[in-house]
Structures are given as C-alpha cells and as structure tokens.
Amino acid sequence: MKYLKIILIVSMLILTPLNAANNKALAGGIVAGVALIAAMNANTESKCKAINYKNYTVGETMLASPANSIIDDKFDACISKVVLFTGNINNTESYNLDITQGQIVKTTKISSGYKIQFATTVVTPVEQLSGVKTEPLYVQIDEQGTIIKADSPLKNLIEKKLFKVTDKIVLKEKTFSQEIIYTGISGDELHFQYREYKGSTLRWPFTMNLIFDLKKSDIIKIKHYKIQILEANNTQIVYKVL
C-alpha cells in the first residue's frame, strides 16, 4: 500500500507539466490523488473493527504468574474470529486418518459458519513411492463450533461440537499498546517491567525495569496505572487495578 501511494504521487508530478499555466491542473491532480489515497485507507480500515482491549477490570481482584502481564492495554486494535480444533479423531470408519489438534490447514468464512480444511489422510512411504497422493478433508461448522457437514470419512462426526470459535486480537500499524509484566519478588522488593508497542514493534526507549518496596506501600503507580498489591510471591501476584 505504501509503494502504491508513492507511485500515485510521483506519477501525478511526472505527468503534469511544471509551468505556471498548469498550476491549477497540478493542484487538481494532487487533490484527486490525495482523495484516492484517503479512499484506499478508508477501505482498508473498514475491513477491521477498531476496539480498545484490556486484560483487566478496574476494581476486580486479578491474578498473574511471573513473566506474565498484569496490565495489557491495546488502543485502536482489531478483533477477528479464529477457529480452534478441540477434538481428536483417529481411524474414523476404518479410514486411515490422523487428524489431531493443531492440524487445521485452512479456515474459510462462509454464510452458515466456517469451512475447515484438515490435514490429509495418512500415506505411508511405500504408498508415496507408488504415486499415491493425499487428499484434503473438509468439514463445515456453525458459529458455535458444531459440525454441520463433512466429507465421507467424517460424516459420523456431524452434530458433534469439536471446534471452538473465539475472538483474536489483531494489531494494526497504529495500534498503541502498554504492558506491565510481573517479574518476581526478592525479599520485600517487587520487580516489574513496563513496555510500549507501536503495532507489533517494541518501543525500546520506553522500556523500564522497576522495583517497588512492599514495606513502604502496598499501592504502586506505573505511568497512569495505580495498582494495589494484595499478595505476591515467586509463584503468583494477586492485585487490583484502582
């Protein structure tokens, strides 16, 4: 998209003669180009619904283990659906199948739910040498993860709920994220790391390793976050965001 924008602008400058008589044409060309670029941006952004995501609720008791986020804020991110296979299918109807968790090859959104392409039937090395090829297997599921249609070897799985449709947070280029990670305790000293991201890129200059003395106060402040520590050890931290 960036290269296309540059090409559009350069093309307008090259194709429009740079003389006083054509100043209006040049201005008009640039305005039209800017409008076209804005339209392309709007079309791209419209495919993704912007949300602000956070992994905590203010005033609610939360729990986290070391090396995990106690604060994870993502501003102007996107939310999309992801399909997870939660079942385990082996040797269905005497077919030589090996379909296990994590072997979804492709997921396609359709009007009635999702079309799932599985890893293919098993082919032995001898069969491979003789030219036997694997064939993909497909099932269709509804929005709740229940199989509503399936290829022949999997027909006995129709009406079984072997999938989970869940939300996935997607970062855009302009998504701004703030993260506070609990890194453990030493004596009465609590250790945290603060991070910022632009899109998926860590902003290194803003990364901070922080230490707080629990004897002085059970309330700590990092940036604009005020956090009450209810319990902390090297197994877990229990806290509230105030």
Domain spans of the chain? 2-46, 50-78+171-241, 87-161
pLDDT of residue 11: 43
Least confident of 61-70, 135-144, 179-188: 135-144
pLDDT of residue 213: 96
Type of residue at 158: I
Residue 144's alpha-carbon distances to 118, 140, 161, in angstroms, are 18, 11, 8
Kind plus residue range of the DSSP H or E element containing 13 = helix 2-15
Q: Are 208 and 214 in contact (CB under 8 A)?
A: no
At 90, the pLDDT band (50, 70, 90 cuts) reads low
Q: Are 212 and 189 in contact (CB under 8 A)?
A: yes
Closest alpha carbon to 138 in 157, 123, 124, 166: 157
pLDDT of residue 41: 39
Alpha carbons 207 and 193: distance in angstroms, whole number: 7
Closest alpha carbon to 99 in 147, 131, 133, 138: 138
Least confident of 13-22, 43-52, 121-130, 217-226: 13-22
Q: What is the mean pLDDT of residues 162-169?
A: 85
pLDDT of residue 229: 97
Closest alpha carbon to 114 in 48, 78, 163: 163
* pTM of the model as a whole: 0.59
Q: Are 22 and 191 in contact (CB under 8 A)?
A: no
pLDDT of residue 117: 85
Half-sphere exposure of 100 (CA within 13 A, CB side): 3
Structure letter (DSSP) for residue 37: H
Q: What is the mean pLDDT of residues 217-231?
A: 97
pLDDT of residue 165: 86
Alpha carbons 144 and 68: distance in angstroms, whole number: 30
Q: Write phi, then psi, for 21 (nearest 5 degrees).
A: -65, -25
